[in-house]
Amino acid sequence: MCQNCLVKTIHHASHHFGWDNANKPVVKVTPGSTLNLECLDSSNGHIHAASTALDINSLPFDKINPVTGPIYVDGAMPGDALKITIDAFDPSGFGWTANIPGFGLLADQFKDPALTLWHYDKTTLAPCAFGRYGRVPLKPFAGTIGVALAEPGLHSIVPPRRTGGNLDIRDLSAGCTLWLPVEVEGALFSIGDTHAAQGDGEVCGTAIESAMNVTVTLDVVKNMPLPSPRFSTPGPVTNHLDSCGYDVFTGVGPDLMIAARDALSHCIDALCREHGMQAEEAYMLCSVCGDLRISEIVDMPNWVVSFYFPKVVFN
């Protein structure tokens, strides 16, 4: 019997909260192994279907973003790449989006906790109602996907790094292939922070945070040094969002961060004015479906960052 054909399940109890190459592997696998990894949501279960915004204040920041793993892959050595084929997601059907004070692109403007709960059809993944306003298309992915760093010690799970981690790249969905630079023997792969939907930027700081199981296949590519994560998508990446086009808001100026903030702020203002939303509702909606794109970065001294809001939400 081919060992590689067995799909191992890694229980979500096998998780950790930071990158540390001294973390003991929960399993050792051969290259080509397919694994089914149970992933907790980024609140580690703290936010649930009966939660209110008050629960944001008691988020256990030492226990956020649990990742399932680490997985030791036989033969993976520094200088190799870990090739991760993202096979499938099995979502839970429940998710949440929050404004967490101190966190997010407009943290200086949104200082109070806010919470949106989502109940979606985990089988059809049909667009999910956002209050009375519209429906948000879903596309599950893992926000955090990475391998251990060469540097010893515990490294926070929050920032993404050259070895991946909390990348929050919404196009790392089923069918994609991701390559990560291996820095320690066995690679020590972990995954978690699963999202049912997110726009480029994850502007309010959270997506549709949702526990789900993820199936991946792990391979080793020998002697493929990488400076940072690289991935390949099998087809279009915005089909779920783009059918009705976009309303687009721009930020123009010499600082990309300020331009991004301006573009987003203009969109939030328009959603409040034209759809009657509260500002924090618009902010959270933008985070789960709107995209930040750099329209131009060369016309000195002013750059253009655009925020693309998908009109399908209201159709």
Report the C-alpha gap between 306 and 256 in whole angstroms. 10
Span of 7-15, 56-64, 76-84, 234-242 interacting with its own copies by CB under 8 A: 234-242
Interaction of residue 167 with its own copies, rule CB under 8 A = yes
Residues in the chain: 315
Quote the tokens at residue 138: 């879903």
We find the least distance from the C-beta atom of residue 74 to its own copies, in angstroms, to be 27
Interaction of residue 108 with its own copies, rule CB under 8 A = no
Whether residue 39 contacts residue 192, with contact meaning beta carbons closer than 8 Å, is answered with yes
Interaction of residue 249 with its own copies, rule CB under 8 A = yes
Interaction of residue 162 with its own copies, rule CB under 8 A = yes
Interface residue with its own copies among 23, 75, 122, 231 (CB under 8 A) is 231
Interaction of residue 161 with its own copies, rule CB under 8 A = yes
CA 188 distance to own-chain centroid: 20
Interface residue with its own copies among 215, 247, 275, 279 (CB under 8 A) is 247
Span of 11-19, 29-37, 83-91, 97-105 interacting with its own copies by CB under 8 A: 97-105
Interaction of residue 171 with its own copies, rule CB under 8 A = yes
Residue found by looking up tokens 């902010």 in the block = 283
Report the C-alpha gap between 188 and 118 in whole angstroms. 33
Phi, psi of 195 (to 5 degrees): -125, 140
We find the least distance from the C-beta atom of residue 70 to its own copies, in angstroms, to be 20
Report the C-alpha gap between 201 and 247 in whole angstroms. 17
Interface residue with its own copies among 45, 126, 230, 276 (CB under 8 A) is 230
Quote the tokens at residue 309: 């809001």
Quote the tokens at residue 92: 């839970």
Interaction of residue 301 with its own copies, rule CB under 8 A = yes
Rounded (5°) CA angle 301-302-303: 125
| Binding footprint of its own copies on the chain (CB under 8 A) | 103-105, 158-162, 166-171, 200-205, 227-239, 242-252, 256-257, 260, 262-263, 266, 270, 291-302, 304-306, 308, 311
